[in-house]
Structure 1
Amino acid sequence: MPPPPTDRTRVRRGVWMFPGIVAGALVDAVVAAEEYGLDEVWIADEGVARDPVPVLAAAAGRTSTIRLATGITSPVLRHPGAIAASAATLDELSGGRAVVGLGVGGELTLGPFGLGSDRPVALLRDAVDVIRAVHRGTAVPGYAPPSHATPPREVPMWIGARGPQLVRLAARVADGLFLSGCSPGQHESIIDNASSVGSVATAIYQTAVDRPTSPGELDWDDAHRMLVDAADRFAPASIGLNLVQLSTPGTDPVPLVERAAGLLGDV
């Protein structure tokens, strides 16, 4: 069963951003998110779009409290060792605010290269093992720490997933489960599935647009109501809004961040 309701004042609030606008504007959006009182920001890794790690690294120098997460990056496209090193470097630059968001990746990320995976659970399990080993300075099959490796540091790792096997994997090996664009019914089913393996923190993010065109999108008011309900029913570690409008070049992200922060402040 889902966890009991908890004090919503302790739930982190944030935004997820599509990296479809110029990098400097994305950095400004992260800075604005902190100024508007948000606790975390996730930037997607969509392959050949703007790279989230340099953007987050640039934002690290202009912020002091907000958590900086890749949301998500794929070991199909990036070697787990490179993911680990990038995350450790970002964590060092930001004073311990980095989060690794890990997942298989979708068509926008992998399609241009003709990539995919027919063993997603094994892929992510092995990637988690390598990333943890790099961050802890330990050896695992396929990795032996060299003398020039980054010093050990614990960087939280969250898995973005919906399918039953990947959700259970997240509950077993990750620090959290990132759920994005799901319906309330999906939330209950996914969280029950994760709970069958063990306790895992969840981040529930909903896509908010002015004119929804797909099942995963809601208008802003409906997205707000869904997050209020999700915060009460599922006691997530964090909640947020997906700013998919940033897939359109030239979009000003700061008003969207301000709008999201205003709604989330009432959740």
Structure 2
Amino acid sequence: MSPDSNRPTWGIELTPEHPPDSIAELAALAEDEGFDVAFASSHYFNRDPFVTLSRMAEATDSIRLGPGVVNPFQDHPVPLAARTATIDEVSDGRAVYGIGAGDRSALSNLGFEHERPLRRVLEAFSVARELWAGETVSHEGTFVARDASLNLEPTEIPVYVGAQGPHMLRMSAKHAEGVLINASHPRDLEWSAGQIEQGLADRPDEHGAFESLAFTSVSVADDADAARAAARPPVAFIAGGAAPPVIERHGLDAEAVETVSDHLEAGDLTAAFEAVTPAMIDAFSIAGTTESVAEQFAETLAFVDGIVVGSPLGPDLEWAIQAVADALEMVNDEVETN
């Protein structure tokens, strides 16, 4: 996705917990700092990602834009395809489609069953591709669409699957244009790379190139302690939803993780954030000063084609965007020097 094939892709996740116009300004800053793609995250309790993306499109010229990530449980796949195609239209062909299975606990809050997630994600973006190509689609599987079509010009939009588990990672490598690996630690990314390699072995040649991006939780500040403190909220949600093999991979205290999870389920966010341990921050985020973050980026890039820097970014969003761009540039300079 990077226009410069000699460097990794730089991506950024912007969370619409702020008004769309504010997020659009941050997207413009990210474009100026050299980022290749900006994702607007999708959570039912925040502002709408597609409204936000439309503002981001107006404020930018070249950076690619997409939801990061929507799920086909909360929203029907056909309207999702239409909304993404609309962003492609208003951005003059800059859209990407970030889609995943969604967070089980958030979906449960809305009364959705998280059934057959891999099959539903695959069917959702397969149908979207047909719709974007101008076809009329009838589909009966994990969802139903009868004689559905879009009143939009045909287009091609790359699909990036948000993935963490082995089956979703392998499926994305076989069928999508890219993967957004929900991980920040080299230990998880190395394991993920092995799963992706298995999927690529079955990838049809006509699917073309594939890109693997680490979708990381990043927090950067002048003061390392401040950066780590700002990382607590997203780390709490990551740890609270982590599968037992992930907890074991990092040697985390299972009881401590369960405490975080229990607080989240009870809606006591303050207690959940306070229960996050230093070991959880190390496992589920990249946090520190610009220099230390650059060192961690270098370790990450041993296993992926690029990095999407995600929430919280840091205590000061504008400063953090510039700082993570500096960190990524440090890594590029080091690679070129060697």
TM bucket normalised to smaller: 0.7 to 0.9
Residues 173 and 131 (structure 1), Cα distance of their counterparts in 2 relative to 1, 3 Å cut: same
SS of aligned partner of 1:265: helix
- Cα–Cα, structure 1 residues 173 and 65, in superposed 2: closer, same or farther, change >3 Å? same
Matched, 1:263 2:260: no
1:72-96 alpha-carbon deviations (Å, 9 max, x no partner):
0010111111111011110111111
Residue number in structure 2 paired with 1:207 = 217
Higher helix share: 2
How far did 1:9 drift?
Answer: 3.5
* 1:47 shift after superposition: 1.6
What SS class does the counterpart of residue 159 from structure 1 fall into? strand
* TM-score of the aligned structures, taking structure 2 as reference length: 0.69
CA contact (8 A) 1:91 1:98 kept: yes
1:97 aligns with 2:94: yes
Offset at 1:42?
A: 1.3
Alignment correspondent of 1:242: 310
Q: What displacement does 1:109 show? A: 4.2
Question: Does the 8 Å contact 1:16/1:71 carry over to 2?
Answer: yes
The answer to which structure, 1 or 2, has the higher relative contact order (CA under 8 A, 6+ apart) is: 1
Q: Distance in 1 between matches of 2:48 and 2:71?
A: 12
CA–CA distance in structure 1, aligned partners of residues 293 and 5 of structure 2:
17
Alignment of 1:15-26 (within 5 A): 15-26=12-23
In the TM superposition, residue 43 of structure 1 has moved relative to its aligned partner by: 1.4
How far, CA to CA, are the matches of 1:252 and 1:167 in structure 2?
33
CA distance in 1, matches of 2:293, 2:115: 33
Q: Distance in 2 between matches of 1:178 and 1:57?
A: 22
CA deviations 1:223-248 (Å, max 9, x no partner) are: 432221232x2351x213213268xx
Q: Which secondary structure does the structure 2 equivalent of 1:98 belong to?
A: coil
Question: What displacement does 1:201 show?
Answer: 1.3
Segments of structure 2 that go 5 or more residues without pairing to the other structure are: 140-144, 204-209, 220-226, 233-279, 332-338
* Partner residue in 2 for 1:3: none
CA contact (8 A) 2:72 2:121 kept: yes
CA RMSD of superposed structures (Å)? 2.2
Give the direction of change, closer, same or farther, for the CA distance of 1:121–1:63 in structure 2 (3 Å limit). same
> Size of the alignment, in residue pairs?
254
1:143, 1:201 → 2: CA distance? 33
Quick one: which amino acid aligns to residue 256 of structure 1? A
Report the Cα distance in structure 2 between the residues aligned to 1:234 and 1:196, rounded to whole angstroms: 14
Q: Structure 1 residues 74 and 11, CA, compared in 2 at 3 Å: closer, same or farther? A: same
1:177 to 168, 179, 194: 179
Out of 103, 115, 119, the position equivalent to 1:118 is: 115
Residues 140 and 191 from structure 1, CA distance in 2 versus in 1: closer, same or farther, beyond 3 angstroms? Answer: farther
Q: Distance in 2 between matches of 1:110 and 1:100?
A: 20
CA distance in 2 between counterparts of 1:106 and 1:154 reads: 27
Change (3 A) 1:116 1:191: farther
Higher Cα Rg, which structure: 2
1:133, 1:140 within 8 Å by CA — same for their partners in 2?
no
Deviations 1:124-175 (A, max 9, x none): 12112221111112234234344x6212100111100111111111112211
What is the Cα deviation at residue 55 of structure 1?
1.1
**Displaced runs of 4 or more, over 4 A:** none
The aligned runs of 1:1-267 (5 Å cut-off) are 9-107=6-104, 109-138=106-135, 139-141=137-139, 142-146=145-149, 149-198=151-200, 200-209=210-219, 210-211=227-228, 212-213=231-232, 214=280, 215-221=283-289, 222-231=292-301, 233-236=302-305, 238-244=306-312, 253-267=317-331
TM-score, with structure 1 as normaliser: 0.87
Whole-Å separation in 2 of the counterparts to 1:256 and 1:61: 23
- Aligned residue type for 1:243: S
Return the alpha-carbon distance in structure 2 between the equivalents of residues 140 and 202 of structure 1.
Answer: 31
User: 3-state DSSP class of the match of 2:52?
Assistant: helix
